[in-house]
Amino acid sequence: MNTEFPIPHEAVIVQRIEESPDIFTWRLRFTDPAVHAAYRFMPGQFNMLYLHGVGEVPISIVSDPEDDRLYDHTIRMVGRVTRAMAQLQSGDHIGVRGAYGNPWPVEQARGKDVIIATGGLGCAPVVSVINYVLRRREQYGRLVIMQGVRHSADLIWRDRYEQWARLPDTQVLLTADQSGPGWPFRTGLITRLIDEADIDAGNSVVMMCGPEGMMRAVIDDLIGRGVPEARLWLSMERNMQCGIGHCGHCQIGGQFVCKDGPVFAYPQVKELLGVKGF
């Protein structure tokens, strides 16, 4: 992370991709070539994206750290800033500062099976690590991707999941709490997928994001199957305004999600995970 006190750098939207009626991806590049060349991040980290006169939002980076041409953010229109951001087009300029936070444990996971469990629309933070593992396939064991959505219509990137499912040593399991027509996958909660997943409890690292209740359920199930607590990793979300542990909004007990997370080992957040009000 840059340790100088952060102000944004200008970046240009090289490409805008419409993922769904309310989700879009920006492919970005810093306009100053020196800034772009010096910029580093790891899967799981986030940037603060700034829209002129409107404000900043923390958004995780979905692209691969070794793609030095562009970096990508997938954004859902949900609040004041992201709704305004949705109006921008390719060629428009924004401000970016980062990268912030702790990344996914790609080192700890090396040589082991990687189990991904995500729920709801919170899949963007894990897409980065899925891509990271697939690009370095020989360094990792099996890849198991479990994704739950509330309604089958909520699933974005269906073609990507289908593509991943065809890869060797890769298992993709999808479920929807409620499914509509044309949904060939499972119906029900994500924990139902764990029975189908081929999990080697002693040789896996688990990476999760999504609703805390869902992560809690997956954690309880996996601990029951013998996965050690320190091999369970979660990406957490809270209000984040400064990104550097000063403003106080993102606290969960003693942890600042922006600088101690957003990726936590389960023991770090175990005490307050899913406790209403924290």
Partner 1 sequence: MSRRLYLPRGRLQLLIERLSADGYRCIGPQAHAGAIVFRPLVSVDSLPKGLGDAQSPGRYRLEPSRGERLFAWANGPAALKPFTFPARETVWRVKRDAAGRLAFGETEQDAPPLAIIGVRACDLAALALHDRHFLEGAVPNPRYRRRRERLFLVAVNCSHPAATCFCRATGDGPGAESGFDLLLDELEDGYLVSVGSERGHAVAESLTLQTASDAQIAQAAEQLAEAAAAQQRRLPSRNLRDSLFSNLEHPRWTDVAERCLACGNCTAVCPTCFCHREVDEPALDGVGSEHLREWDSCFTRDHSYIHGFVVRAETRLRYRQWLTHKLGSWHEQLGRSGCVGCGRCITWCPAGIDMTEEAARIAGGGPP
Among 25, 43, 46, 56, binds partner 1 (CB under 8 A): 56
**Does residue 165 belong to the site contacting partner 1 (CB under 8 A)?**
no
Q: How far is the CB of 80 from partner 1 (least distance, A)?
A: 10
Sheet holding 9-20, edge to edge: 55-60, 46-51, 93-100, 9-20, 23-30, 71-76
User: Could you say whether residue 40 binds partner 1 (CB under 8 A)?
Assistant: no
* Site for partner 1 contains 251 (CB under 8 A): yes
Question: By CB under 8 A, is residue 277 in contact with partner 1?
Answer: yes
Residue 182 is a binding residue for partner 1 (CB under 8 A): no
Contact with partner 1 (CB under 8 A) among 17, 37, 38, 78: 78
| Count of CB atoms situated within 10 Å of the CB of 268 | 21
Residue 33 engages partner 1 in binding (rule: CB under 8 A): no
Q: Which is nearer to partner 1, 50 or 132 (CB)?
A: 50
Residue 31 binds to partner 1 (criterion: CB under 8 A): yes
Q: CA-to-CA distance for 168 and 179, rounded, in angstroms?
A: 28
Answer for which of 21, 33, 53, 181 binds partner 1 (CB under 8 A) is: 53
Residue in 20, 35, 84, 95 binding partner 1, rule: CB under 8 A: 95
Please state the closest distance from residue 189 (CB atom) to partner 1, in A.
Answer: 20
Residue 166 vs 276, nearer CB to partner 1: 276
Contacting partner 1 (CB under 8 A), which of 16, 20, 35, 92? Answer: 92
Q: Which of 216, 238, 265, 274 binds partner 1 (CB under 8 A)?
A: 238
**Residue 247 binds to partner 1 (criterion: CB under 8 A):** yes
Instruction: Pick from 7, 66, 180, 181 the residue near partner 1 by CB under 8 A.
Output: 7
DSSP the chain: ---SPP--EEEEEEEEEEEETTEEEEEEEESSHHHHHH----TT-EEEEEETTTEEEEEEB-S-TT--S-EEEEEE--SHHHHHHTT--TT-EEEEEEEESB---TTTTTTSEEEEEEETTTTHHHHHHHHHHHHTGGGS--EEEEEEEEEGGG---HHHHHHHHTSTTEEEEEEEEE--TT--SEES-THHHHHHS---GGGEEEEEES-HHHHHHHHHHHHHTT--GGGEEEE-----SSSSS-S-TTEETTEEHHHH-BEEEHHHHTTTTT-TT-
* Count of residues interacting with partner 1 (CB under 8 A): 46
Site for partner 1, rule CB under 8 A: 1, 3-10, 31, 50, 52-56, 76, 78-79, 82, 92-95, 237-239, 241-242, 244-249, 251, 253-256, 259, 271, 275-278
